[in-house]
């Protein structure tokens, strides 16, 4: 008898696998990091075999920790880092190059050339996105143009393109399923946001052969069954797929238009449910698919800050002022404020609402009294400032006032960050008991597709607030903070 669902949350720096029971309790959680590759400044790559290896190991350890046999799994759900672009050989399943990660900026000049040619409005109208290296299409073109023999093989139909969800579904099903769900497809610059089909004009604009592309499927749909996966029996349905931010929106039970959440991971991402029709942005946000279930599509507005938790990792790995990311809050609390230091964490350019790929990180306001604690506090504040900008743009686009702000992701355990976020937003910040809402969303999409759960009511009932951070900052102090931030962003 099926008693559990397995969720794979394949992120930018690691792979997390959760085993979840029918009452939405996490029976086991395993996270394994994998290497990051930086061939040149501004370039970030992942080895697909290292990602797959981390996935297989995490599956085995999670099942062992939960004391659950693979035969007890009702379904496997996938959620993934989005936009990261991979090409592999259809016959052997081997990658032709390391995957080009969403943070990678190598195609900034190509995007600038398309903007200069007047293509931005056509792209935005068709896809809901902007011309930025963040998205998949220019990454595909780079691989086709720079890896020897790849374009010819792609045009012959010998190669497959996929974001990481596509690659995992391919491997989990032994190559039987070449699919991506609508939420991930909407991040490629190649899908028509209205029809949810690959758009011939966009394929022509970016020089992408149609033979490369996966089938666009629903977010809660059986796309295949496991075959030849170490540690899993054959025949388990692979049944739920959604990009990580959309999965978190679903996992936070943001089912009604106007509901919004922010995920704090490597980057910070705000999504707001806008209902059955896309809402075009006038303030630098993105229109995207939230999910497609049972033939019905839900859309979202999205704002993306490329660097959030990655800024804390930089303090750890680049500067060495902390040994573990979890130490940053204690260090920041050693001072009462940032001492006038402002850190704009544009370590991979600036995303929404600015869309400045050439921007670089900036630390402003240092003097002889500045300490590591001031820098740690400024780093946390820089994350919160970015999110405040996104929330303001979303309010302007949607016309909906936020009454509360749901948050998830590892950085939400940082109470100092969450309190400062509430102060900047001027509304309460609500942290759920279960912060692994990304994996929960993937699991629930998979369980809905297989009948393990019958409706969305179960996830509504499971949502519980762990802590509510109420704003304490006076309006004048808030505006002074925001003014300092705006001056610094202009210089980044």
pLDDT for 455: 84
Distances in Å between the alpha carbon of 305 and those of 105, 125, 269, 272?
14, 22, 6, 15
The interaxial angle of helices 244-251 and 437-450, nearest 10 deg, is 80
CA 459 from centroid of its chain's CA atoms: 21
The Cα 273–Cα 97 span in angstroms is 36
Number of Cβ within 10 Å of residue 76's Cβ equals 31
Residue 335 lies in a domain: no
CATH number at residue 203: 3.30.420.40
Q: Which of 11, 6, 14 is nearest to 62 (CA)?
A: 6
Residue 308 lies in a domain: no
Residue 136 lies in a domain: yes
3-state secondary structure the chain: CCCEEEEEEECCCEEEEEEEECCCCEEEEEEEECCCECCCCCCCEECHHHHHHHHHHHHHHHHHHHCCCHHHEEEEEEEECCCCEEEEECCCCCECCCEECCCCCCCHHHHHHHHHCCCHHHHHHHHCCCCCCCCHHHHHHHHHHHCCCHHHHHHHCCEEEECHHHHHHHHHCCCCCCEEEHHHHCCCCCEECCCCEECHHHHHHHCCCHHHCCEEECCEEEEEECCCCCCCCCCCEEEEEEEHHHHHHHHCCCCCCCCEEEEECCCEEEEEEEECCCCCCCCCCEEEEEEEECCEEEEEEEEEECCCHHHHHHHHHHHCCCCCHHHHHHHHCCCCCCCCCEEECCECEECCCCCECCCCCEEECCCCCCCHHHHHHHHHHHHHHHHHHHHHHHHHHHCCCCCCEEEECHHHHCHHHHHHHHHHHCCCEEEECCCCHHHHHHHHHHHHHHCCCCCCHHHHHHCCEEEEECCCCCHHHHHHHHHHHHHHHHHC
The Cα 378–Cα 288 span in angstroms is 31
Number of domains in the chain: 1
Residue 329 lies in a domain: no
Number of Cβ within 10 Å of residue 23's Cβ equals 8
Residue reference for tokens 């702000």: 405
Residue 279 lies in a domain: no
pLDDT for 432: 85
The interaxial angle of helices 475-491 and 372-398, nearest 10 deg, is 100
Tens digit of pLDDT at every position of the chain (492 positions)? 789 999 999 998 899 999 999 888 889 999 999 999 999 988 999 999 999 999 999 999 999 999 988 899 999 999 999 999 999 999 988 999 999 999 899 999 999 999 999 999 999 999 999 898 989 999 999 999 999 999 999 999 999 999 999 999 999 999 999 999 999 999 999 999 999 999 999 999 999 999 999 999 999 999 999 999 998 999 999 999 999 999 999 998 888 888 889 989 888 989 999 899 998 888 889 999 999 999 999 999 999 888 899 899 999 999 999 999 889 999 999 999 999 999 999 988 888 888 887 889 999 999 999 999 999 999 999 999 999 999 999 888 888 877 778 898 888 989 999 999 999 999 999 988 877 788 999 999 999 999 999 888 877 776 677 889 999 999 999 999 999 999 999 988
Q: What is the value of pTM for the model shown?
A: 0.86
The Cα 485–Cα 490 span in angstroms is 9
Residue 31 lies in a domain: yes
- Token reading at 143: 């691989």
Residue 234 lies in a domain: yes
The Cα 84–Cα 388 span in angstroms is 26
What residue numbers bound the domain in which 192 lies?
4-245
Query: What number of CA atoms fall less than 13 Å from residue 414's CA on the CB side?
Result: 29
Is 430 within 8 Å of 405 (Cβ atoms)? yes
């Amino acid at each position: 008898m099926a008693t559990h669902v397995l969720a794979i949350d394949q992120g930018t720096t690691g792979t997390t696998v959760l085993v979840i029971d029918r009452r939405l309790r996490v029976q086991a959680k395993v996270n394994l990091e994998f290497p990051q590759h930086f061939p040149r400044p501004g370039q970030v790559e992942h080895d697909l075999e290292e990602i797959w290896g981390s996935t297989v190991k995490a599956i085995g350890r999670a099942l062992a920790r939960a004391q659950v046999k693979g035969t007890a799994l009702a379904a496997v759900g996938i959620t993934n880092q989005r936009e990261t672009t991979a090409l592999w050989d259809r016959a052997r399943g081997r990658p032709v190059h390391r995957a080009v990660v969403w943070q990678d900026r190598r195609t900034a000049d190509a995007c600038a050339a398309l903007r200069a040619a007047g293509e931005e409005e056509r792209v935005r109208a068709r896809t809901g996105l902007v011309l930025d290296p963040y998205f998949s299409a220019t990454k595909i073109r780079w691989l086709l143009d720079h890896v020897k023999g790849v374009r010819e093989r792609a045009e012959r139909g010998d190669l497959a393109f996929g974001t990481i969800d596509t690659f995992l579904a391919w491997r989990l099903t032994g190559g039987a399923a070449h699919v991506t769900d609508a939420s991930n497809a909407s991040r490629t610059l190649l899908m028509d946001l209205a029809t949810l089909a690959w758009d011939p004009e966009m394929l022509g604009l970016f020089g992408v052969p149609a033979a490369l592309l996966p089938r666009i499927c629903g977010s809660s749909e059986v796309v295949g069954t496991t075959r030849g996966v170490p540690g899993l029996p054959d025949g388990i349905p692979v049944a739920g797929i959604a990009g990580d931010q959309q999965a978190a929106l679903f996992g936070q039970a943001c089912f009604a238009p106007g509901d919004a959440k922010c995920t704090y991971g490597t980057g910070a991402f705000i999504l707001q449910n806008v209902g059955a029709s896309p809402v075009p942005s006038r303030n630098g946000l993105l229109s995207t698919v939230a999910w497609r279930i049972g033939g019905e599509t839900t859309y979202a507005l999205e704002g993306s800050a490329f660097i959030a938790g990655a800024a804390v990792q930089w303090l750890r790995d680049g500067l060495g002022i902390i040994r573990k990311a979890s130490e940053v809050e204690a260090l920041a609390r050693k001072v009462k404020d940032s001492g006038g230091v402002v850190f704009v964490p544009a370590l991979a350019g600036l995303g929404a609402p600015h869309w400045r790929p050439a921007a670089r990180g900036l630390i402003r306001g240092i003097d002889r009294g500045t300490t590591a604690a001031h820098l740690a506090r400024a780093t946390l504040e820089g994350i919160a400032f970015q999110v405040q900008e996104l929330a303001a743009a979303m309010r302007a686009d949607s016309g909906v006032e936020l009454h509360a702000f749901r948050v998830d992701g590892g950085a939400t355990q940082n109470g100092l960050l969450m309190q400062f976020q509430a102060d900047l937003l001027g509304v309460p910040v609500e942290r759920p008991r279960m912060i692994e809402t990304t994996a929960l969303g993937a699991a629930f999409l998979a369980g809905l597709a297989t009948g393990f759960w019958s409706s969305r009511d179960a996830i509504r009932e499971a949502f519980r607030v762990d802590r509510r951070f109420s704003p304490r900052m006076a309006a004048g102090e808030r505006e002074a903070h925001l003014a300092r931030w705006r001056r610094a962003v202009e210089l980044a």
